[in-house]
């Protein structure tokens, strides 16, 4: 039997108090809806995601997109997905979920579908028991028999005391889903089309509604506000850290570490406290990262040490040393054994093997060869301010020694084996093996201080 998922993700999410649609709020580097999509893909043949026109569909891969133009409730959103399943058989099972339930697992869904197969369910819902059911639809029963779901805003006081809640997860045979959706009406406080009413419609038509309780307890059955977002994030983050640690990564003080879902870290790497690793970052084996470090969308080679630093969209080679207090801006590429030291900022530059920028420097739009030493306080002047946004390049070839407190005014080229004197302003190309001195000659005025003090009385 064909299994199809519909994920309802078009809701505004007013309680998030955000211009960002609720299901797009990130959890560990990806929209919360992506966790639901992953769970659905594991158990169904096709996934349809219903979104609003405020969501960019290009972020979704290998799913079918349907649109709910006006937010008129879950029933209306489900109707929007019907065209995408029109070719499915009448007996196809349609699994319906909400995009704000990132803690649901494929194992939960597999168990639910197995239950529906066992019971040959025409319609079924997955419930849970919540210690605090506030905000959820309540499951009204007559003894064990399902009667209806009543939404929080429509519930009487006695109904609000019920702790069995609707998880927003259903299974329908297609023919019964189509039938019931044609009959739902917006007769409720919100003037919306509730998918929950489809169950009552089918029950009134004599269709048995099967009910399965979730086999585990969740702290969040759908994210509706920032507090619940934080709770869901904490759980998913711990799952990520556990997975990494079980695969050979040492994480000291995990409570202070945040690592995104798509991050890859090699064996024997140590993550020290207060580390944030984001995006598509890949870190090799035997690295030490932290403390107090942020890495975003970067590649870090084996054996590299990064401490008290920020690295963004850059490629760091093997056995490099970064920090403390380095700022690696986007577009850098470093070969092995490179040192970027204390209070150094680099941007869109290439560094050859064994090159060092130990401290107090800015290197931007530069191509630097092998075994180069750049003295403290050196900067590349890559921006004149007179050519729009154009940045001029600096080229430093192999085995160059740049003296301390140098200003390299781009465009400029310093050729192999050259030296520049401390305190120089380099405005012209430096030949191979030359010494460049770009400073005024020192003049000492004898007894100048004594005369000045005498003249001032």
Catalytic residues, by residue number, are 359
Omega within 30 of 0 (cis) for the link into 288: no
Element (H, E) at 54: none
Nearby residues of 380 by Cβ (< 8 Å), 6 or more positions away: 362, 363, 364, 365, 366, 394, 408, 410
Q: Given strand 299-300, what is the order of strands in its sheet?
A: 264-265, 282-283, 299-300, 315-316, 333-334, 350-351, 366-368, 394-396, 412-414
Are 116 and 210 in contact by the 8 Å Cβ rule? The answer is yes
Are 311 and 298 in contact by the 8 Å Cβ rule? The answer is yes
Between the alpha carbon of residue 142 and those of residues 139, 148, 156, 162, 180, the distances in Å are 10, 10, 16, 13, 22
CA-closest candidate to residue 159, choices 169, 151, 167: 151
Between the alpha carbon of residue 98 and those of residues 23, 250, 305, the distances in Å are 9, 36, 43
Whole-angstrom distance, CA of residue 102 vs CA of residue 238: 14
CA-closest candidate to residue 220, choices 77, 74, 72, 98: 98
What is the residue-wise DSSP string for 159-197?
HHT--EEEEEEEEEEHHHHHHHHTT----STT----THH
CA-closest candidate to residue 318, choices 283, 344, 278, 348: 283
Between the alpha carbon of residue 409 and those of residues 277, 353, 364, the distances in Å are 35, 24, 11
CA-closest candidate to residue 313, choices 340, 278, 287: 278
């Amino acid at each position: 039997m064909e299994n199809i998922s519909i994920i309802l993700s078009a809701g505004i999410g007013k309680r998030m108090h955000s211009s960002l649609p609720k299901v797009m709020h990130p959890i560990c580097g990806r929209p919360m809806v992506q966790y639901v999509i992953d769970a659905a893909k594991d158990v169904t043949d096709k996934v349809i995601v219903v979104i609003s026109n405020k969501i960019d569909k290009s972020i979704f891969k290998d799913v079918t997109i349907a649109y709910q133009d006006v937010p008129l409730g879950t029933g209306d959103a489900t109707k929007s997905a019907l065209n995408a399943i029109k070719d499915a058989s009448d007996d196809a099972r349609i699994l319906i979920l909400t995009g704000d339930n990132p803690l649901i697992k494929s194992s939960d869904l597999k168990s639910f579908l197995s239950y529906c197969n066992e019971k040959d369910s025409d319609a079924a819902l997955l419930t849970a028991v919540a210690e605090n059911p506030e905000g959820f639809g309540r499951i009204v029963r007559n003894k064990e028999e399902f009667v209806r779901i009543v939404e929080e805003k429509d519930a009487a006081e006695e109904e609000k005391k019920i702790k069995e809640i609707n998880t927003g997860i259903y299974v329908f045979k297609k023919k019964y889903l189509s039938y019931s959706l044609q009959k739902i009406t917006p007769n409720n406080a919100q003037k919306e089309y509730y998918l929950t009413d489809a169950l009552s419609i089918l029950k009134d038509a004599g269709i048995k509604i099967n009910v399965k309780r979730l086999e585990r307890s969740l702290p969040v059955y759908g994210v509706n506000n920032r507090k619940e977002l934080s709770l869901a994030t904490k759980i998913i983050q711990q799952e990520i850290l556990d997975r990494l640690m079980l695969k050979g990564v040492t994480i000291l003080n995990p409570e202070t570490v945040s690592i995104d879902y798509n991050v890859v870290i090699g064996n024997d790497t140590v993550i020290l406290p207060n580390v944030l690793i984001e995006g598509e970052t890949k870190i090799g084996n035997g690295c030490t990262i932290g403390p107090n470090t942020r890495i975003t969308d970067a590649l870090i080679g084996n054996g590299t040490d990064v401490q008290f630093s920020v690295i963004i969209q850059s490629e760091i080679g093997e056995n490099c040393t970064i920090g403390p207090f380095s700022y690696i801006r986007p577009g850098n590429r470093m070969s092995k054994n490179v040192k970027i030291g204390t209070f150094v900022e680099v941007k869109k530059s290439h560094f050859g093997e064994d090159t060092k920028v130990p401290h107090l420097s800015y290197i931007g739009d530069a191509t630097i060869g092998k075994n180069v030493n750049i003295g403290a306080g050196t900067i590349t002047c890559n921006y004149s301010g007179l050519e729009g946004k154009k940045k001029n390049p600096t080229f430093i070839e192999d085995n160059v020694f740049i003296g301390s407190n140098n200003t390299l005014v781009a465009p400029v080229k310093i050729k192999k084996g050259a030296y520049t004197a401390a305190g120089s302003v380099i405005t012209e190309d430096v030949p191979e093996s030359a010494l460049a001195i770009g400073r005024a000659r020192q003049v000492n005025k004898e007894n100048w201080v004594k005369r000045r003090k005498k003249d001032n009385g």
